[in-house]
Amino acid sequence: MRLVLERRAETPWTLNLLSPLLAVGLTLASAVLVFLAMGQDPWQALWVYFLMPLSDSWGLQEVAVKATPLVLIAVGLALCYRSNNCNIGAEGQFLLGAIAGGGLAVAMHGADAGRWLLPAMLGVGALAGAAWAMVPALLKTRFGVNEILTSLMLVYVAQLLLDWLVRGPWRDPDGFNMPHTVVFGAEATVPLLLEGGRLNLGTPIMLAVVVLGAVLLGRTLKGFEITLVGEAPRAARFAGFDEKRLTWTVFAITGALAGLAGVLEAAGTVRQLQPDLSPGYGFTAIIVAFLGRLNPLGCLVAGVFLAITFIGGENAQIMLQMPLDVTRVFQGLLLFYVLACDTLLLYRPRLLRRSGA
């Protein structure tokens, strides 16, 4: 007996629902096993992991705060990946956005800046992210240098640049020479939206980006071009689309969105620049992009899902005394299931009796 896959002519709509449900079912089944093995009450563990983050307004706001940078970056990455540009350096573009936007906040600290400061920070952050992303894009189109290497290497360079800035020129003069900038002033802080939580303006911005991304991909010529270049590059060339320009465009968009996410994070949740600004959002967003099937709305769903698993992992550490590593194993398993079940959408699995090739 062996498993073979048959490509589906079209995906029945029921499967779009069934696949995530199956993934959840499998997750629940193995979660029950894992938790039983660890001597935990499986139902309580499941509640802590998946439902508690959603059980009140504060929790929901936290999910939104955690998902916002992931989704923002992932929407940009989706455009990149659709057009066969393998940008894995969004983390660096995120940091550059934080550096540029945060740098402006530091420069204007104490000056009576007024209401334009935050919009300016967001703009500068997006530009800086885009500029950082243009390096691999230009090296790719000009010299044929593979963007996997350049975008990844530039992540480390960005981390070191941030490190140097906050220890050197931008260090808080009253901060006992610790590696961080001043805490941003009120006009350089992303405003909170609700009482009793940390939901800030970043989330509506992210939602707007999701809608814009969906419109761009689904309703515009540019969107068609992106998809066509990715799926049928030869046909795209035949249609007169300029692949180089498209590479620049998608890298710039991705970088800008990652940069925007970076400055929103710096000016929203952290409110100062410091070396550990990102818990790897730029890398996690890659998973979000693919789990969301490179579709902006899908990225939104996947981003929220991943945010829940991160917060659930923290809750499990607190309430079940489960070590961080176990929560990571669990998160990994969960992703495996989701990816495996996704197969159902495109293929029909069949068990065959062994009969040669």
Partner 1 sequence: MLLLEAILLTVIVASTPLLLAAIGELVVERSGVLNLGVEGMMIMGAAVGIVAAITTGSSALGVAAAVAAGMAMAAIFGALTLGLAANQVAAGLALSIFGIGLSGVVGAGSVGVPREGIGQIALPLLSDIPFIGHVLFRQDPFVYASFALVAGVSWFLWRTRAGLVLRACGENPASAHALGYLVLRIRFLAVLFGGACAGLAGAYLSLVMTPFWSSGMTAGRGWIALAIVVFASWLPWRAALGAYLFGGVTILQLHAQGAGVPLPTQLLAALPYLITILVLVLIMALRRGGGGGPQSLGTPFVPDR
Partner 2 sequence: MTLSRRHLMTGAAALAGSAALPGPAAAQDRANVGMILIGPVGDFGWSHMHDQGRRRMLEVLGDRVTSNLVESVAPPDFDRVATQLIRTGARLIFTTSFSYFAPTQRLAPRHPNVFFENATGPATLPNMAVYNARFYEGRYVQGVIAARKSRSKQIGYVATFPVPEVIHAINTVMRGAWSVDPSMRIRVVWVNAWSNPGREAEAARALIDQGCDVLCSHTDGPAPLQLAEQRGIHGFGQASDMTRFAPNAHLTSSVNSWGDYYAARARAVLEGNWQASDTWGGLGSGMFSLAPFTNMTPEQASEAERIRDALANGTLHAFDGPIIRQDGTPVIPAGQRLTDDQIRAMNYFYQGIDVAMP
CA distance 337 to 166: 41
Q: Any bridge partners for residue 212, and if so which?
A: none
Binding track, positions 176-215, relative to partner 2; x by CB under 8 A:
xxxxx--x--------------x-----------------
CB contact at 8 A, 259 and 162:
no
Residue among 117, 115, 141 nearest 252 (CA): 141
As to burial, measured by CB atoms within 10 angstroms (0-12 exposed, 13-18 middle, 19+ buried), residue 55 is exposed
Please identify, using beta-carbon distances, which residue of 235 and 318 lies nearer to partner 2. Answer: 318
Out of 93, 150, 200, 315, point to the residue binding partner 2 (CB under 8 A). Answer: 315
Closest separation between CB of residue 310 and partner 2, Å? Answer: 8
DSSP 8-state secondary structure symbol assigned to residue 200: B
Closest separation between CB of residue 225 and partner 1, Å? Answer: 20
CA distance 166 to 186: 20
CA distance 74 to 85: 14
Query: Residue 284 corresponds to which tokens in the numbers above?
Result: 């996690």
Stretch that binds partner 2, among 41-49, 147-155, 228-236, 330-338 (CB under 8 A): 41-49
Closest separation between CB of residue 220 and partner 1, Å? Answer: 25
CA distance 92 to 157: 8
Judged by the rule CB under 8 A, the positions of this chain that interact with partner 1 are 3-7, 81, 86, 88, 139, 143-146, 148-150, 152-154, 156-157, 160-161, 163-164, 167-168, 283-284, 286-287, 290-291, 323-333, 335-336, 339-340, 342-343, 346-347, 349, 357
Q: Which residues sit at the interface with partner 2, rule CB under 8 A?
A: 39-41, 44, 47-48, 52, 55-56, 58, 62, 65-66, 160, 163, 167, 176-180, 183, 198, 265, 269-272, 274-279, 310-311, 314-315, 317-321, 323-325
